[in-house]
Amino acid sequence: MVAAVNNNNHLAAPQEQALLARGEELFIAGNYNAAWVSFNELIKINPNEYYYYYMRAACSGNQGLYQASLADLNKALSLAKTNEAKGFCHYDMAIIYVNMGDVNTAESHLITAAKLGNGLAQNICNEYGIPY
């Protein structure tokens, strides 16, 4: 049984850990296409881990593939168990929608992220006078 890796209480299988390490390294290096492949494989191994959808969404979105990214973020949101994780998803949705030119939806997700305690979203809301 492969365990989730979402927090300190979960243990990942060695294969899963290695793939995650590879994916994160590729992502940090900006190699989003290769990182996408790693997170796609991780989803096959563990389809219930929100983080893998979240990261695959980031790989797609950072390449301008916004619809694919939104689909994965919605899946991640459905699996996320903590406000922190949900805040990450809403914050990234805000980024995508603002890049798509949908400012109202972007603001809605930004406010939701801030309400969930996302520090980045709160900083922006505070700095630009957006109530949350």
Partner 1 sequence: MENKWQDLLKQHSLGMGSFDLNNENQENRPANEWPNERKRKSKLKLGLIKG
68 Cβ contact partners less than 8 Å away, ≥ 6 residues apart: 57, 60, 61
Window 11-50: residues binding partner 1 (CB under 8 A): 11-12, 14, 17, 20-21, 24-25, 27-28
CB of 95 to partner 1, least distance (A): 5
Exposure of 128 by Cβ count < 10 A (0-12 exposed, 13-18 middle, 19+ buried)? exposed
* All residues at 6 or more sequence positions from 17 whose CB lies less than 8 Å from its CB, including other chains: 5
CB within 8 Å of 74: residues ≥ 6 apart: none
User: What are 4's two structure tokens?
Assistant: 């989730």
x/- string (CB under 8 A) for partner 1, residues 46-85? -----x--xx-xxx-xx------x--------------x-
131: contact with partner 1 by CB under 8 A? no
Quote the least distance from Cβ 68 to partner 1, whole Å. Answer: 12
Q: Distance between CA atoms of 15 and 11, rounded to whole angstroms?
A: 12
Residues of the shown chain interacting with partner 1 in the complex, contacts defined by CB under 8 A? 5, 7-8, 11-12, 14, 17, 20-21, 24-25, 27-28, 51, 54-55, 57-59, 61-62, 69, 84, 87-88, 91-92, 94-96, 98-99, 103, 106, 110, 117-120, 122-124, 126-128, 130
